[in-house]
A and B are shown apart, each in its own frame.
Chain A
């Protein structure tokens, strides 16, 4: 119930207490207490089961399962694999021949939730913008500081949490600002050290007073504690180097938005454990008054990744563009990732840059980003490789519900509609028989090997049909003894 959630948030002050006492927690985003949430939903509604049968599952963990099933229970993934026992009342979706990926996560978005302002009050889960975002494969998006799930048709379970980013600035063009920031970190560090030693000493000496927190910047403290993430917007290499060094000095992992010249200082960024949010198609020449290399590079994402920097890909625009020029907005996240692949990024890393890495940045890796048992059932079912330009999302499962079916919505149903027939071949193949055996049979009759028919594996250059379409399988016929001429006497021509 949203009312309960408000009370939970209202008790936010109390939340900081366990965090103070357990500074070893790394990033705990102050997301809603989701154990309570799932307990509530279980008690209020009946259980729902959804079974996705026969898809090629790209889990994101390295496992790729062909023809596997995924069982969703309420809003979580219950089982993945083969021979799953499916409850009788489960909704079954046959997705044979289609691929399943984790839902895409948009780190910055505009207008996808229909209303404006606070998600709890103003989300419109029937809006066209949400429909189009879901049609592009996005399942979770960040709007402002709120993380929302594109839960079409419902207003509950939309707010997933708040992004715990703190925007910092550390640029060589602002030495005063840099000094201030360093001082903030220094005082925070001093306080933390004092606090830890007090923690130890107070057990034996109850009289000791807790060290004062006055003058300590709360954001700097949170960054050092790991409860907030430091996000910098920086592009030029000197700034990136400076940030890396700052991060290594004070022991936190920076998040860098933009990171245009990161490819030049990737090693240092990697040592700092940075995460970069890059726009693969960023184009900017280097500053003309510099002699050393600079500017943007299509290989930025690939080089950063090679040096251990986590890469999240963000398209140039966070909104949906309906002007008619396509390929550059939030609806085309895979296109941006494809350009990173062009620059040398491995494809599975490119997919991770839209799924796991954003999940990790938002502190929600335990729930989102990959297809694993126990994680949220946020899945997209596509008609091909998600990085291919022809691929469309056919179905979208969000929070364990099928919220989108391409054929049921007017926008895209007319583009390469799903075939009506079954994808399985109409003529069953008898196990054990293969094409070659049948075709080789007449070869035995004929003495002249050149006359034997040979199946070309790829279309030939004479009157071919264009870049290698999948060759038509010759219809498989059950073996029949070919009518043979009785062998002639004498010479053996067939």
Chain B
């Protein structure tokens, strides 16, 4: 167990020891009694280990998962409320690392060609109709991102979808630094080519890295306080690996640039956000550099020789990455390109077009993989003790489009319930 997880559990245990329970607060929520959920199948999807527990019991308290295991090996604590979902399954809430629908469409404030200081968080519109639909589709956490109109669009923010106040939504700001290396940034101003874009990126990355180093030295050793530059602040988080670079990148040679420049040369945590067409060819280098692949909205590459020669095959992106050995494959929607609530369909299509799912890879691509990719593996993405109780009650395989989401828990709170309100999706 990692140190932060241990700390959380300890805090939680201490808090709950001194806290009084109120009867009017629903079970599972902070201040309420504990909740024991009994289910035929729990897709616990930890990063390693068994992905499924049959006939499982999940204990939720104070908004966190307290324990999970087979019913035969666990006992319901005395004052816990029991929720038996019968033949429904439980899985973690989905995480989409490429979302543009959590607010307005002011995505591309492309003032300069690189804008690392811009933050999209002011754009957030909590509880907007699209987010409500997203919740009904099982998406409980999104990375709300700037667009790809410039090489660095700004800082994205990690948000929970189901609450109506911004403060409760925000998980981490900056959720990521958005870098775009595709063809979209070429549109900026007078139009430019790849040489200029790469140069400009490296300029800013170098400056940022130097800025971060200065601050690090100051914090460690004291001395003259460096001048604050809010444009470069994000690099302090990047250097400390508190946040990641989400890179809009596709095509093999472009992904190579991403990995080599961002991960190897500058040493930042980064991941591929799109990874379409023949990006999968960069898998060996990606594995070596620890770069995950979050794939979408395109899930397949059609043959288009001579540029994309697949020898006549329709090749799934997920298939490609997995075939070459990648273990960290996730899915996104780039909502609204694909509607946010169809995130599970993206996983279904990835599996359909060749990704082997014998280790629940489809569900993992919606949950624990995006979680670990964005540094939130100790908070969301799996059903493990100490993590947030972000759970979905689903009628079957969550990746199957036929499966519907019956209820959604976020931080132990039931924020969507088809039995008490109209089914949204």
Partner of B360, one of A343, A412, A466: A466
Partner of B402, one of A281, A283, A341: A341
In the complex where A342-B402, A465-B358 touch, is A326 in contact with B49 (Cβ < 8 A)? no
Task: Contact check, B50 vs A461: say whether CB atoms are below 8 A apart.
Answer: yes
Task: Contact check, A326 vs B351: say whether CB atoms are below 8 A apart.
Answer: no
Interface residues, chain B, with chain A CB atoms under 8 Å away: 41, 43, 49-54, 56, 69-70, 129, 133, 276-277, 297-302, 311-316, 319, 337-339, 342, 345-346, 348-349, 351-354, 357-360, 363, 397, 399-404, 422-425
Task: Contact check, A389 vs B349: say whether CB atoms are below 8 A apart.
Answer: yes
Task: Contact check, B298 vs A342: say whether CB atoms are below 8 A apart.
Answer: no
Bound CA–CA A389/B347 (angstroms): 10
- With a cutoff of 8 Å between Cβ atoms, the chain B residues found around residue A410 in the complex are 311-313
In the complex where A299-B423, A466-B357 touch, is A325 in contact with B299 (Cβ < 8 A)? yes
Partner of B401, one of A283, A338, A411, A467: A338
- With a cutoff of 8 Å between Cβ atoms, the chain B residues found around residue A281 in the complex are 339, 342
Secondary structure at the A interface, as helix, strand, loop or mixed, is loop
CB distance from A469 to the nearest CB of B (A): 6
Q: Is A339 an interface residue (CB 8 A)?
A: yes
Task: Contact check, B50 vs A342: say whether CB atoms are below 8 A apart.
Answer: no
Which range holds the interface residue count of chain A? Answer: 35 or more
Bound CA–CA A389/B41 (angstroms): 20
Partner of B399, one of A387, A389, A469: A389
Bound CA–CA A145/B51 (angstroms): 51
In the complex where A342-B401, A467-B52 touch, is A323 in contact with B298 (Cβ < 8 A)? yes
Task: Give 8 A-B contacts (CB < 8 Å), ordered by A residue.
Answer: A285-B129, A322-B302, A326-B299, A326-B353, A338-B401, A343-B404, A415-B319, A467-B41
CB distance from A201 to the nearest CB of B (A): 58
CB distance from B303 to the nearest CB of A (A): 8
Task: Contact check, A466 vs B358: say whether CB atoms are below 8 A apart.
Answer: yes
CB distance from A347 to the nearest CB of B (A): 8
Task: Contact check, B401 vs A325: say whether CB atoms are below 8 A apart.
Answer: no
- With a cutoff of 8 Å between Cβ atoms, the chain A residues found around residue B43 in the complex are 467
Task: Contact check, B357 vs A412: say whether CB atoms are below 8 A apart.
Answer: no
Number of A-B contacts (CB under 8 A): 125
Most buried by A among B69, B337, B342, B422: B342
- With a cutoff of 8 Å between Cβ atoms, the chain B residues found around residue A299 in the complex are 423
- With a cutoff of 8 Å between Cβ atoms, the chain A residues found around residue B399 in the complex are 389
Bound CA–CA A469/B50 (angstroms): 13
Closest partner residue, chain A, to B395 (CB atom) = A342
In the complex where A325-B297, A410-B313, A415-B353 touch, is A467 in contact with B339 (Cβ < 8 A)? no
- With a cutoff of 8 Å between Cβ atoms, the chain A residues found around residue B363 in the complex are 467
Interface residues, chain A, with chain B CB atoms under 8 Å away: 281, 283, 285, 293, 297-299, 322-327, 335, 338-339, 341-343, 347, 387-390, 410-416, 458-469
Partner of B51, one of A285, A342, A416, A467: A467
CB distance from B67 to the nearest CB of A (A): 13
CB distance from A328 to the nearest CB of B (A): 8
Closest partner residue, chain B, to A299 (CB atom) = B423
- With a cutoff of 8 Å between Cβ atoms, the chain B residues found around residue A412 in the complex are 313-314
Partner of B52, one of A327, A347, A464: A464
What 9 pairs across the A-B complex have the smallest Cβ distances?
Answer: A410-B312, A324-B298, A338-B401, A389-B348, A466-B360, A341-B402, A322-B302, A464-B50, A461-B53
Task: Contact check, B354 vs A415: say whether CB atoms are below 8 A apart.
Answer: yes
Closest partner residue, chain B, to A409 (CB atom) = B312
CB distance from A278 to the nearest CB of B (A): 15
Task: Contact check, A324 vs B300: say whether CB atoms are below 8 A apart.
Answer: yes
